[in-house]
Amino acid sequence: MKSFDETDINTLRLGESEEDLETAAKIIADGGLVAFPTETVYGLGADALNPDAVADIYIVKGRPSDNPSIVHIADPEQIRDLTPRITEDMRKVMDAFWPGPMTMITEAKPIIPMVTTGGLNTVGIRLPDSRITRELIRRSGCYLAGPSANISGKPSPTTAQHVLDDFTGRIEAVIDAGPCRVGIESTVIDMTGEIPMILRPGGITKAMFEEVLGKKILLDPTLNKKPDPEKQADFKPKAPGQKYKHYAPDAEMILFEGDPDRVTAAIDEERNRRELAGEQVCVIDFRGSKQTAAHEIFARLRQADKDHVNVILAAAVPEEGLGFSVMNRLLKSAGYNIRRV
Ligand code: TXA
Ligand code: MG
């Protein structure tokens, strides 16, 4: 297992050639860490059934040990190795959305180590829509534990360079397959209850699930709540990762919400005021397209940090469909610092 001062690994930047895939697969099979591309964000991968390898993910990310890692598979039937039961609802959403940006929470088989499940008796399983990563899984002969490949609390990585910015010298390799298509993480849906419940909004929306399942589903009630530091006990999201500070840029961030014209005017006014005071300002206005918003948000937040901006002024986006998932990320990155205008 690695220690904190073991920071001088030669991190390989691999491509999509056969040879590079073999190299990556061998690293995983030998218990090392390889960051891998998916359609959502880059993941930090290790053999999900090797507790020492998964423990290394937590060390390099600085991730709390109670936050489970999802497990990536290459083919739908592999789910049988990880969970004892496939319900009718699970089958429907798997058929509809895999490969794709959906993580299903299901009962875990005992072969999955505690370090991977964060001590829960459930596991999140995902079949990503990335040929290269599915090939990596097949060749390594392992399932891939894979949280997003960012330092805990920071914006998720949507390019190999983002991964290298966080982990050069700390992981064995990253496979560079260009920018991620969706740009925000998968929808996490809990399939263990009578009625499925979305724990983290993502690329697959509530309406898309309801259409496929032919019934209404639930949203974790904490998704519509602002966490109150005074009342920590009341804020218990079912996905452990959702209770932590998330996606946070170094800069102060303000999210402007309200009538569209007033939002534009308020952002302009705040920008002028700040610039006059000598501050460097970044404006993020994604109201034009939800897809672009999802695709760009993490890269923009990371760029703002690289540019050492003092403040990010962001416009709220309409909360329908994918917009709800984007707003979830904007709210968290702004630390719920909302200005209603
Ligand atoms: O798109 C994605 O899901 C990316 C790519 C790499 O696949 N992965 C990702 O992993 O976003 P991560 O660890 O950053 O986020 C997974 C979320 C966390 O909030 C975690 O707490 C939750 O899923 N989760 C994982 N296993 C769970 C479980 N058994 N029960 C409840 N929530 C779970
Ligand atoms: Mg993450």
Using a CB cutoff of 5 Å, list residues around ligand 2, an ion.
Answer: 148
Q: Whose CA is nearest to atom 3 of ligand 1?
A: 186
Residue 162, H or E segment: helix 160-167
Helix (H/G/I), strand (E/B), else coil: 34: strand
Task: Report the residue count for the chain.
Answer: 341
Q: Give 232: exposed, middle or buried? Use CB within 10 Å, 0-12, 13-18, 19+.
A: exposed
Give CA–CA dist 171/182, Å, rounded: 25
Give CA–CA dist 61/115, Å, rounded: 14
- Give the closest residue to 137 by CA, choosing from 54, 75, 69: 75
Q: Whose CA is nearest to atom 33 of ligand 1?
A: 239
Give CA–CA dist 132/31, Å, rounded: 19
Helix (H/G/I), strand (E/B), else coil: 174: strand
C-alpha 148 to ligand 1 mean position (Å): 8
CB count within 10 Å of CB 110 equals: 8
The whole-number pLDDT of residue 232 equals 62
The whole-number pLDDT of residue 244 equals 75
Q: Give 273: exposed, middle or buried? Use CB within 10 Å, 0-12, 13-18, 19+.
A: exposed
**What dihedral angle (degrees, nearest 10) is formed by the CA atoms of 139, 133, 73, 52?**
70
C-alpha 147 to ligand 2 mean position (Å): 6
Give the side-chain half-sphere CA count within 13 A for 336: 9
The whole-number pLDDT of residue 337 equals 95
C-alpha 37 to ligand 1 mean position (Å): 15
C-alpha 208 to ligand 1 mean position (Å): 20
The whole-number pLDDT of residue 26 equals 98
The whole-number pLDDT of residue 241 equals 82
The whole-number pLDDT of residue 229 equals 62
- Give the mutation target among 41, 188, 198, 242 for probing the ligand 1 site: most ligand atoms within 8 A of CB: 188
Sheet of strand 338-340, all strands in order from the earlier edge strand to the far edge:
281-284, 311-315, 252-257, 338-340
The whole-number pLDDT of residue 231 equals 65
Sheet of strand 218-219, all strands in order from the earlier edge strand to the far edge:
12-14, 173-175, 34-36, 43-47, 144-145, 71-72, 122-126, 102-107, 187-190, 197-200, 218-219
Q: At what angle do helices 160-167 and 290-306 cross, to 10 degrees?
A: 30
The whole-number pLDDT of residue 128 equals 98
Give CA–CA dist 164/156, Å, rounded: 12
107 Cβ contact partners less than 8 Å away, ≥ 6 residues apart? 83, 84, 85, 121, 122, 123, 192
Output the pTM of the full model: 0.95
Tell me the mean pLDDT per 10 residues along the chain, length 341: 63 97 98 98 98 98 95 98 97 98 98 97 98 98 98 96 97 98 97 97 97 97 76 76 83 97 98 98 96 97 96 96 96 94 96
Q: Give 95: exposed, middle or buried? Use CB within 10 Å, 0-12, 13-18, 19+.
A: exposed
CB count within 10 Å of CB 313 equals: 25
Rounded to 5 degrees, φ, ψ at 283 are -105, 130
Residues with CB under 6 A from ligand 1: 38, 40-41, 43, 67-70, 101, 103, 105, 117, 120, 122-124, 126, 128, 146-148, 185-186, 188, 199-200, 238-242
Ligand nearest to the CA of 166: 2
C-alpha 260 to ligand 1 mean position (Å): 33
